[in-house]
A and B are shown apart, each in its own frame.
Chain A
């Protein structure tokens, strides 16, 4: 038989191995990786290069740390970020529980109240807070009318409003992260704890809390990392004493003299962010970034993970033991319904904080007054008229649409191919590649904008529609990859085999089986990639020109100079866009959920 096998080897066409290699799905990763290498990694490397190009490599960094302004601002940024992450955790956890515990239509409404703000631009949500807290805003009016204040006061531009605004903006991220870990818990665990004689509070403390600790950790770190790079909210809601680190970069960006020093600022911010993510990834697994399941990797990894899991769990248990028992004895005296009411109260507060500003802004957009005031003295469509008849606004609107459509197209083309590559190939280091594809979510937008600025200058792309769309696609790509690789993992490979064996070619299999199965994911990914670009402000600040203005850029200019109801009109339109998107996506999401549960 051995001679037969040799002859078979010899008969195999020489080109076959090449053909097989060309059909390797891993090749599908190449376009996205090439794209990221050129427009994302290269500029970041260049940024680091410039930051160390001083007389000695550390001279620019020495300046950053020598000037008290920057050092103080760095410390302040850390303080604010930790506080915001802590607040988000405190209020986010009960809200996640509230979603989990409610049923039917109530659950849908509560979840929508959390998800909707998540997809509305940060700029718009911050603007809503400015309206709410302004001198003529509803809060001042309310306080005056019930007699706490004798006349309206300045509520804005202090540390409190920065914390409030940032917490409100980042809460949905926290709630959704924790919710995914709460929802993954086996329902019967809590029942088993109750059946074993644990009271509701004990069951929560000893079972639910330790098991959701990784989710809480992930939420805290995601919020913290996002807060470090925050720029829009503190700029608009903070006073002179609330400068955050990212704000210095934009302030310095215009002066040519600070070349090198500016990059050093960016590298400091980037380093802190990456260090936090690296430490977190070490303990939680880097999947926490995209909230995904572990990709199927080579087997030996599995054992590592198990030991890690065990360590984490025992750590959770000991924490619960140390803090929990004394508290538990105390809480044991409270009525059992106490926990339920805490959850409802805090969850209700969170929903109010997330939804009320949006509602106020929508109402104000129909105001008949010529300035911002709430409640409006009367209703009219004058601001809509003004918006739709103003050629500047309309041009910006169309620019945004074009840029967002192009950006979504780029992100979908590259991201779908990359998702196929990562799910369907057998290459090693899938986790590392996934991490690279998803990493743009983590990099502070200010740093990314700064690094792209020099690249765009060199290739004369500043102010080009295509350049801006490509830059926006850096952030759109991770969204597409995460959504599509999840839906691809849900596709039953047996279905594809069944199609192939009954005569369908690879392309036909993809068209008739794979594509319909990932269609919901594809639609959602397209919408979110579009929305990402449509809302993008920070990169645009660096990369646009006087001729190329997007809607968020116009908004940004107006928010800073004149706070009028036209902004409320734009905000209302954006909210309607997101609602329409969610409504369209709802049946799609529902069917995909049904498909995965089968």
Chain B
């Protein structure tokens, strides 16, 4: 889980003396830019791809735009990159408007899903490209390219052509190209989705470490919620051209603001329940099956019905009835290694998803088995 506060002290501290996780001394002076998007609108005909989005990104922050396809996350990234022009609103980098600045003068780095390495150039020529464009002299270019290839562990591939490399290597070249100029902003458009799972995880870690090393602001687009949770300082969840929630990964996971966020991020049980009474911030609720439970709520709702989010791993399971438990019947049980994933029905027929650690003392439940489940007030979250 991200701990932005700790990260930020690392960045603002005496950077030169420290050693980054990738084992290389940190480059001094690269501090990310702040990015502010104000009221951004992008229309295609009558379709609002980006619908009045505003977002403030702090210097050096790793922020992820997360959403299903068509949610507008890539369009927003393209607007920041300058590939598309705003229909309304503005984009500020370090307080200065950039939305009328052509892409090539914005000075960003970018990593593409398809790598987008120039096929007519070698690895080192690809990496040198941004420096060449910036008019950096030859000696400095060579030195910076060598450094960056070293960071990305690509030194022995320098003279290869991109087509001779594996997908993971190509993506590391693309990352090297994006960071070689030590840009204050790096944009990443689903950079890992073309890679297989194992490689994806190792490059996730690499990108995180890199972020600490170079200190650039990273704007990362993905549709993979796991990726967003592990990598980001903050996540902005998009749906239908709007930001539905923005916050730290833990907050978003634990305290989603609506059903969309709750079901898009992580697995979830959304239980309809009636509010029986309210005492302080604790609500006493009853669901269709007649199960009465307590739930914490930040909101001021106190009567009527509400949707309660219960994460599958927060449900306690036992074979025998316990205090304040309710029976469920198992419809499927899958052994996933360290975890059991159980699908069950509550008495009212409502489905319930349970994830629990492997129970060594008893066999895998089979279909039709009765189990007893319960959850406490701290395990649920009442959605508005």
Which size bracket describes the interface of B in this complex? 35 or more
CB B198 to nearest CB in A, in angstroms, measures: 24
CB B126 to nearest CB in A, in angstroms, measures: 9
Majority SS at the chain A contact face: helix
CB interface residues, B 182-224, toward A, < 8 Å:
187
CB A173 to nearest CB in B, in angstroms, measures: 34
> How long is the Cα–Cα vector from A378 to B100 in the complex, in angstroms?
77
With A5-B89, A13-B100, A499-B118 known, 5 other A-B pairs at CB within 8 A are A9-B88, A498-B118, A499-B129, A503-B130, A508-B104
> How long is the Cα–Cα vector from A493 to B124 in the complex, in angstroms?
22
Asked if A175 CB lies within 8 Å of chain B CBs, one says no
**Across the interface, do B133 and A494 meet the contact criterion of CB distance under 8 Å?**
no
Asked if B335 CB lies within 8 Å of chain A CBs, one says no
Q: Which residues does chain B contribute within 8 Å of A503, judged by CB atoms? A: 104-105, 107, 130, 133-134, 181
**Across the interface, do B118 and A501 meet the contact criterion of CB distance under 8 Å?**
no
Q: Which residues does chain A contribute within 8 Å of B181, judged by CB atoms? A: 502-503
Among B64-72, B108-116, B253-261, B306-314, the stretch in contact with A: B108-116
Q: Which residues does chain B contribute within 8 Å of A11, judged by CB atoms? A: 97
List 30 A-B pairs, Cβ < 8 Å.
Answer: A1-B52, A4-B38, A4-B39, A5-B39, A8-B39, A8-B89, A8-B90, A494-B116, A495-B116, A497-B83, A498-B110, A498-B112, A498-B117, A499-B118, A500-B82, A501-B103, A501-B104, A501-B108, A501-B109, A501-B187, A502-B129, A502-B133, A502-B177, A503-B134, A503-B181, A504-B129, A508-B133, A512-B118, A513-B118, A595-B119
Q: A8-B88, A499-B129, A516-B120 are in contact. Are A505 and B114 (CB under 8 A)?
A: no
Asked if B85 CB lies within 8 Å of chain A CBs, one says yes
Residues of B within 8 A of A (CB): 38-39, 52, 54, 81-83, 85, 88-90, 97, 100, 102-110, 112, 114, 116-120, 129-130, 133-134, 174, 177-178, 181, 187
Q: Give the nearest-CB partner of B180 in chain A.
A: A502
Asked if A16 CB lies within 8 Å of chain B CBs, one says yes
Q: Which residues does chain B contribute within 8 Å of A4, judged by CB atoms? A: 38-39
> How long is the Cα–Cα vector from A367 to B134 in the complex, in angstroms?
65
**Across the interface, do B110 and A502 meet the contact criterion of CB distance under 8 Å?**
yes
Asked if A428 CB lies within 8 Å of chain B CBs, one says no
Q: Which residues does chain B contribute within 8 Å of A20, judged by CB atoms? A: 85
Asked if A492 CB lies within 8 Å of chain B CBs, one says yes
Asked if A562 CB lies within 8 Å of chain B CBs, one says no
**Across the interface, do A501 and B110 meet the contact criterion of CB distance under 8 Å?**
yes
**Across the interface, do B88 and A504 meet the contact criterion of CB distance under 8 Å?**
no
Which size bracket describes the interface of A in this complex? 20 to 34
Asked if A333 CB lies within 8 Å of chain B CBs, one says no
Q: Which residues does chain A contribute within 8 Å of B112, judged by CB atoms? A: 494, 497-498
CB B155 to nearest CB in A, in angstroms, measures: 21
Q: A497-B81, A497-B83 are in contact. Are A12 and B118 (CB under 8 A)?
A: no
Q: Which residues does chain A contribute within 8 Å of B88, judged by CB atoms? A: 5, 8-9
CB interface residues, A 484-539, toward B, < 8 Å:
492, 494-495, 497-506, 508-509, 512-513, 516-517
Q: Give the nearest-CB partner of B177 in chain A.
A: A502
> How long is the Cα–Cα vector from A20 to B102 in the complex, in angstroms?
11
CB A10 to nearest CB in B, in angstroms, measures: 12
> How long is the Cα–Cα vector from A512 to B102 in the complex, in angstroms?
18
Q: Give the nearest-CB partner of B135 in chain A.
A: A503
Q: Which residues does chain B contribute within 8 Å of A498, judged by CB atoms? A: 110, 112, 116-118, 174, 177
